[in-house]
Structure 1
Amino acid sequence: MIRKLFNKLVQHLSKKEFTILTGARQTGKSTLLNDLRKHCKRNGIPEIFINLENKMLLAELDANPLNLLAYLPNQEVKTIVFLDEIQYLSDPSNFLKLLFDEYNHLLKIVASGSSAFYIDSTFNDSLAGRKRIFNLFTFDFEEYLQLSGKEELWEEAARIKNQPHAKSLRLHELQLEWEGFMLYGGYPAVISEKSIPEKIEMLKEIRDSFIKRDIIESGVQNEVVFYRLFQLLASQTGQLVNINELSNTLQSRNETIQNYIGVMVKCFHISLIRPFYANLRKELVKMPKGYLLDAGLRNSLLNNFTPIHQRLDKGEIWEQAVFRLVVDKFGLDGIRFWRTADGKEIDFVLPDEHPPIAIEAKFDERMAKHKKYQLFTDTYADFQFQFACMQPWSEDFFRKYF
């Protein structure tokens, strides 16, 4: 199937800037590059595909970026150069900068990378105006249904969304699929497995084998502490990330904990969202909140695939799901949260939207009490405040959140 991001990447093929595709391992970046390559072939656009896991090619390009030019099929027409796993280059910044500055008339690079270690301040500064970064996350619910072979269910959800008073005979089916999505997440290899035990095993494989590659490549020295920290963050999703508390719990130095969290962020396993504040002295402005970027990975880290309604942490699972819905709709960069020193909190704040938006996640609508949030709504009257609730389940779920 074709990912939603595909059309944006196709549109960017004609731009002068290089295209950088990032995301966690096993989210489908290589498949997406191959889909773009097929698009080029169908439209007669010259292209080549280089996988930098090929050690000989990697050594050749590391020795001299200009060695790439010998592989171009035509020196008269601009070639799209697909580079898979660009993080393996010893100096991706200089590699891309040199080729852009001297040879952008001959080539356009479309590169993928499984971590953001190469996307540091140096990368962004040296390539300002020369690249655009696209993030590929695990599948969203629409893509989940399509890959599961249940396109007709998504068509039903879309019908509900677009018809304000529509009722559905398939609402229970949609609920079961949504709850499955909240349990097993959006990794394509997991979705493709038909049986529940195989889904769980595939998530364990991603958790243990593929994330271990991130650990090795990032130079993590204490694998046990890294995994224990990852499990702690998974259990505390939506809570403040308190470095001192984590350090004390794991009996590790603050610098180690900060470094390992940085690895998880750069490998797209967790996201830290920062507090929103204006002038209130009581607003807490220091610690971020942490969320995992895939629900299935979180449940695998906790080794808990109990159905949602039987879970003690169903509120956290729902808040995690709302976080991904917000990310998929608005992107990562603009998400904030609001919290005062005495504990009053709004889960998600989007100050840059027009109008600005504030969202509080509550699993059950009966827990949604507007009075608790009056300080925020009085202080920030221009914000559109809303509750995001999973229960009671109805057609309105798809009208509100998709």
Structure 2
Amino acid sequence: MIQRGHILEIKRKLSQFPAVVILGPRQCGKTTLAQDLGGRYYDMETEGSSARLDAEWNEAAAGEELTIIDEAQEVPEIFKRLRGTIDADRKRNGRYLLLGSVSPSLISGVSESLAGRVAFVEMSPLSLCEPTGQTMDSLWLYGGYPDGGVLDPSLFPAWQNSYLTALTTSDLPKWGMTASAQMTRRLLQMLAAHHGQPLNASQIGQALGIDHKTVQRYIDFLEGAFLLRNLPPYYANIKKRLVKRPRIYIRDSGLLHALMRIQDMDMLYGQPWLGQSWEGFIIEQTLTVLSMKNKTATPYYFRSSDGYELDLVLDWGVERWAIEIKLTSNPSKQEIDRLNKVADMVGATQRILLCRIEEAFGNETLTVTHPEKWLQQLSS
């Protein structure tokens, strides 16, 4: 059993709030983690579970066991009932654990009925900071879904393709996605081809035969289902024209590679978009660790019209970190100098170059290090 990095944060919030909501994509390990905590378990997608929860409600509310309600967005009427039960004994914490795969619908229901009574934890697929038994390159290739290659490499990419088929034909339409399965799959493939690039909704809409507003609506939905990462641009007050469109990333690298028909590392290294794949993988790993450790920083990217850019800007409110991500194991002085120059443009206090170098080096404001060492530092 893989010890998930989110477990301590979930236990901490259960000790502070009557209810905790775990959000995250399907099959990322939410159910396994929740069941490891013990308690009464109800899966709202399983026939009879809703009726059983209704019948056992008073018994569960009076007991000391944790009540786990999986795929809670399937029964939105439950949130008002939870509010009444929680308010009847407001001082009792750690009573309910809700799991969900669709962020907007679940958060809407919770926010309307359980404001101030619930804490949120966003759970991602497996990261480099968790004991997966995989190398960094394997996790990059397969992605972080436990059944997508982490536990059995022979399942990649067949598992990813089956997962995407289930999402596009069943789950997404059930959750409210109005596009056809064929349209959703085509959209995902186009977004994969534009991975790490500024979004051009009009161009994508023309290729799909739909308007840009519809494209944006679909993208918002896919982002809410934890399939996409929308990275906004950072606006700096400098005398340069800036790119102001968000960058879109397929959040899980294994899903990206399946959409791009990658079979193995040899094929991956032969792609012209290799660097964007690596960049997206490290960005997602970084943001996963920050979420896992409840560290709050707002992520951006930065790019000027004349090509000065930062792959990731972390705004901590009181300071900013400028981060560049390179696949190289031998960073050049020119790359470091350019990082410092662009970091100055955004007023960054820390400059980080993440590459595959063996020995880290730097000074008070500059760090050149390996991604795994960087993630270990972030998680400490």
In the other structure, the counterpart of 2:363 is none
**Aligned residue runs from structure 1 range 164-203, under 5 A:** 177-191=135-149, 193-196=151-154, 198-203=155-160
Q: Distance in 2 between matches of 1:298 and 1:252?
A: 23
1:52 lines up with 2:44 in the alignment? yes
Equivalent position of 1:164 in the other structure:
none
Match of 2:314 among 350, 355, 358: 350
- Quote the Cα distance in structure 1 between the aligned partners of 2:245 and 2:118: 31
Matched residue SS, 2:195: coil
The alpha carbon displacement at 1:199 in A equals 2.3
Deviations 1:159-215 (A, max 9, x none): xxxxxxxxxxxxxxxxxx22221111111112355343x322112221222453332
Give 1:129 deviation, angstroms. Answer: 1.4
Which residue of structure 2 lines up, in the alignment, with residue 156 of structure 1?
none
**Which residue number in structure 1 is paired with residue 169 of structure 2?**
212
Structure 1 or 2: more helix by fraction: 1
The answer to whether 1:280 aligns with 2:238 is yes
Q: What letter matches 2:184 in structure 1?
A: F
Asked if 1:268 is matched to 2:226, the reply is yes
Amino acid aligned to 1:69: W
User: Which residue of structure 2 lines up, in the alignment, with residue 69 of structure 1?
Assistant: 57
1:277-299 deviation per Cα after TM superposition (whole angstroms, max 9, x unaligned):
24336454742111122111110
Residues 377 and 190 of structure 1: CA distance in aligned 2, closer, same or farther (over 3 Å): closer
3-state DSSP of counterpart to 1:24: coil
Name the counterpart of 1:83. 69
Give the Cα separation in 2 of the matches to 1:325 and 1:271: 12
**Which residue of 2 is the match for residue 43 of structure 1?**
none
What's the counterpart of residue 399 of structure 1? Answer: 373
In the alignment, residue 317 of structure 1 is paired with which amino acid?
A: S
- Partner Cα separation in structure 2 for residue 60 and residue 368 of structure 1: 64
TM-score normalised by L of structure 2 = 0.83
Secondary structure of 1:349's counterpart equals strand
The 5 A counterparts of 1:1-400 are: 1=1, 2-37=3-38, 47-58=39-50, 69-72=57-60, 75=62, 78-91=64-77, 93-104=79-90, 108-120=95-107, 123-124=110-111, 126-143=113-130, 146-148=131-133, 177-191=135-149, 193-196=151-154, 198-217=155-174, 218-280=176-238, 282=240, 284=242, 286-307=244-265, 308-331=268-291, 334-352=298-316, 355-364=319-328, 365-366=331-332, 369-373=335-339, 376-390=342-356, 397=370, 398-400=372-374
Give the aligned residue type for 1:70: N
Residue type of the partner of 2:245?
A: M
Amino acid at match of 1:34: Q
Check 1:394–1:311 CA distance in 2 against 1; reply closer, same or farther (3 A cut): farther
Specify every segment of 5 or more residues in structure 1 that has no aligned partner in the other structure, as ranges.
38-46, 151-176
The runs of 5 or more residues in structure 2 that have no matched partner are 361-368
Q: CA deviation at 1:112?
A: 0.5
Between 267-276 and 214-223, the greater mean CA deviation after superposition = 214-223
Matched-pair contact (CA < 8 Å) for 1:355–1:382: yes
CA deviation vs aligned residue, 1:113-134 (integer Å, no higher than 9, x gap): 1111324456435433111111
The separation in 2 between residues aligned to 1:278 and 1:114, in whole angstroms, is: 35
Q: Distance in 2 between matches of 1:126 and 1:283?
A: 44
Aligned residues: 356
- Residue type of the alignment partner of 1:352: W
Inter-CA distance 195–342: structure 2 relative to 1 (3 Å threshold): closer
SS of the equivalent of 2:280 reads: helix
Letter in 2 for 1:23: G
| 2:364 matched residue in structure 1 | none
Contact 1:21 1:136 (C-alpha < 8 Å) held by counterparts: yes
Tell me which amino acid in the other structure corresponds to 2:285: L
SS of residue paired to 1:15:
coil
Q: Is the CA contact 2:71–2:101 (under 8 Å) kept in the aligned structure 1?
A: yes
- How far is the alpha carbon of 1:14 from its aligned partner? 2.2
Q: CA RMSD of the aligned region, Å?
A: 2.8
**Matched residues in 2 for 1:379 and 1:32: separation?**
43
Within 1, Cα distance between the matches of 2:185 and 2:145?
Answer: 20
Q: Is the 8 A contact 1:362 1:368 kept in 2?
A: no
Counterpart of 1:129 in structure 2: which amino acid? Answer: G
Alpha-carbon displacement from aligned partner over 1:13-61 (angstroms, at most 9, x marks no partner): 2223310011101111111110111xxxxxxxxx422221234342576
Change (3 A) 1:194 1:54: closer
Distance 1:296 1:380 in 2: 32
In structure 2, relative to structure 1, the CA distance for the partners of 1:266 and 1:22 (3 Å cut) is same
Superposed displacement of residue 328, structure 1: 2.5
Once residues 212 and 53 of structure 1 are traced to their aligned partners in structure 2, the CA distance between those partners, rounded to angstroms, is 16
Cα pair distance change 1:245/1:102, threshold 3 Å: farther
